[in-house]
Amino acid sequence: MMTIQTSNLGFPRLGRKREWKKAIESYWANKIDAPTLNQQLTDLHKENLLLQKNYNLTSVPVGDFSLYDHILDTSLLFNIIPERFQGRALDNDLLFDIARGNKEHVASALIKWFNTNYHYIVPEWDNVEPKLNDNVLLERFKYAQSINVNAHPVIVGPITFVKLSKGGSQSFEEKVNTLLPLYKEVLQSLVDAGAEYIQIDEPVLVEDDSASFEDITRTAYNYFDEAGLSNHLVIQTYFERVNLKFLNSLPVKGLGLDFVHDNGYNLKQIKDGDLDKNKSLYAGIIDGRNVWAADIEAKKSLIDTLQNATNNLVIQPSSSLLHVPVSLDDETLDESIAEGLSFATEKLDELDALRRLFNDDDSQKFDELKARYDRFQNQSFKNLEYDFDSVRTTRQSPFKVRKKAQDARLNLPDLPTTTIGSFPQSQEVRKFRADWKNNRITDEDYKTFLKNEIARWIKIQEDIGLDVLVHGEFERNDMVEFFGEKLQGFLVTKYGWVQSYGSRAVKPPIIYGDVKWTEPLTVKETLYAQSLTDRPVKGMLTGPVTILNWSFERVDLPRETVQDQIALAINEEVLALEKAGIQIIQVDEPALREGLPLRSEYHEDYLNKAVRSFKLATSSVADETQIHTHMCYSQFGQIIHAIYDLDADVISIETSRSHGDLIKDFEDITYDLGIGLGVYDIHSPRIPTESEITEAINRALQEIDRSLFWVNPDCGLKTRKEDEVREALTVLVNSVDKLRKSTNPATV
């Protein structure tokens, strides 16, 4: 009988209680030096490696751990360093400056990693000289060996790396060919060091256009074959299906396939005989992107099927576990719900249970997990009825009519200025929230603090000269978790953190039951802020698509049903804000593009349902009420028409890190709704100059009607320091003031 092996594609970097984040941010704040940072992260890496070893994995990944982002690590490995940062020592500070920017230079672009909420730093090829720098991957592999961990190195493959890059005069194929000798040198060093196999991540091979670069993919892996490396290489794909016949034709040891998010196609190809039985099959059978316990009985049946397709079967998660929290061990949850959950370590336990069952005829752990799963499935969390058809999904009047009513009511100046919603979550804010949650201060003390903070920031915004204000969201820990705490049907964890970008961690709520609005969520704070000023204050909400995409969604209902349940809840809050007299309501959808399926055949259905849910949440208001929305850090060209179909009165979109690339998308559409393009990067401590902001505005006005244009930062300001926010917003307002006074609006 075949021996089943187990492996993993990647493990969360954050640590069980965000130790990774705290160490890095302590370094940024000059509280620890570089050697201390490196030692703390080495200790955490060791902990992660040994933890995975304890779950009896045949092989543990090395190369998934990073100081910021694994794509940025690959850029530095091959000297793909942005031109503005070249000539510096290759150290932590260079890595962080590329990722975050500094006083002299803007950061590199930040883009969603396929259809997840993880962001990678886009490699820039302008005027680079590729070469092999310090081989950190080899160092980490040797470290794993030194602590007696059987590890396999992980590296982003040349096709994926170049496909996710930008800039440079070389063609796609020329860039790949330039890198191949460098990849060969790295791969050979790992083989020489004893690597049994090397995981090469090529997720771009699941995308629609993968057929267009099959030739260069074949060229690359033939090159490695000619170098004698092919028997050590495993190509890992995830998030969708592949063309298995093509992938099977490549000269490599094994192939990694996603059997969770492939819509059944990878399994069909396996059954059709498209896999060479002599190739190792690395089967992603445990969901690496959601937190629900596996149907362990179904996984057993899947393994039975896959065993017939290969002579060597390795079972693994469907993707890196980067996208889920570390462990349930520290949570105190209702047992009836907790039994249905599985974080990163629990997923490794599921793999171990299956390994024991097949290899050792040991069913104890398997039977325990099956019993837990069955008990959870028998819980009744869904029994509510909804009347979706009773709520409007189109505004009462077209935009031109609404705009006249809104202009008359709001009386805003030319090029109105605003922010995206949140202001700095200072240590004081976080301390008061923690003290309140842990009953160290009274409800009244906490409410008084929030009122004082709101009042202080209303005054700051007025002094700076912003036209449309916000209350600052000081009562909110996160733009999705906050709503998860208040809406029925959501579960909020204590330590369920996942990495979003850099040191930014989010704690996605878990949707386990029917969603319902039971009381006002944001009205008190927004109404109080409005009472302090004559300028309009925006109500700030998160939209249904984003709440769903940034939560761990239930899988027992169609996705669109859950999304529409959330939309009805947000609609209730929108109407409550309007009834309270709030004139502008922003319903953010930064994750609309993120959830777009990787295969274009599913795009129209996804976007139609997303647009419907947003309109279900926002269309019931009067013409005079102005609806805003916001999106950030994504590639919007594919969805520009869906963005228009949202029919929001004003949309604000990030363009700072994409350096204005989004403007090109407006050349293909007549966008006659209100729009604000983010004119500076809030994820960098760097303060923009007036000339930079002015240039960004003027470039946008070449494609967008000035009467429709708003000026704002590219995202919320909660991660910035107060002095940075004051200074940057002052520059923004001063730039707009000069533009307003200019006799020729196109110049300064």
Name the binding residues for 5-methyltetrahydropteroyltri-L-glutamate: 18-21, 112, 550, 594
Tell the residue number behind the tokens 């004082």, with chain if given. Answer: 452
Dist CA 140 CA 142 (whole Å): 5
Report which of residues 743 and 358 the model is more confident about: 358
Annotated binding-site positions: 18-21, 112, 420-422, 473, 550, 588, 594, 630, 632, 654, 715
Q: What is the pLDDT of residues 255-271, one digit of tens each?
A: 999 999 999 999 999 99
Q: Is the pLDDT of residue 433 over 70?
A: yes
State the average pLDDT over residues 435-454: 93
Tell me the pairing of strands 626-631 and 198-201. Answer: unpaired
Specify binding-site residues for L-methionine: 420-422, 473, 588
pLDDT band, residue 212 (cuts 50/70/90): very high
- 492-543 pLDDT, tens digit per residue, is 999 999 999 999 999 999 999 999 999 999 999 999 999 999 999 999 999 9
pLDDT in tens, 684-742: 788 999 999 999 899 888 888 999 999 999 889 998 999 999 999 999 999 999 999 98
> Quick one: pLDDT at residue 633?
54
| Contact yes or no for 351/57 (Cβ under 8 A) | yes
DSSP symbol at 15: -
pLDDT, tens only, 598-617: 999 999 999 999 999 999 99
Q: Which of 394, 431, 435, 423 is nearest to 621 (CA)?
A: 394
Q: How confident is the model at residue 148 (pLDDT cuts 50, 70, 90)?
A: very high
Q: Which residues pair with 59 in a beta bridge?
A: 7
Give 18-83 as a DSSP string: SHHHHHHHHHHTTSS-HHHHHHHHHHHHHHHHHHHHTTT-SBEEES---SS-HHHHHHHHTT---G
Q: What is the pLDDT of residue 662?
A: 60
Q: If pLDDT is split at 50, 70 and 90, which confidence band does 665 have?
A: low
Tens of pLDDT, residue by residue over 226-249, are 999 999 999 999 999 999 999 999
Give the per-residue pLDDT at 747: 44
Catalytic residue among 232, 471, 628, 683: 683
Residue numbers belonging to the annotated binding site for Zn(2+):
630, 632, 654, 715
Least confident of 278-292, 604-618, 651-665: 651-665
In the predicted structure, residue 191 carries a pLDDT above the cut 90: yes
CA distance 419 to 408: 22
Kindly report, residue by residue over 295-352, the tens digit of the pLDDT. 999 999 999 999 999 999 999 999 999 999 999 999 999 888 899 999 999 999 999 9
* 641 has catalytic annotation: no
75-125 confidence digits (pLDDT tens)? 999 999 999 999 999 999 999 999 999 989 989 988 889 999 899 999 999
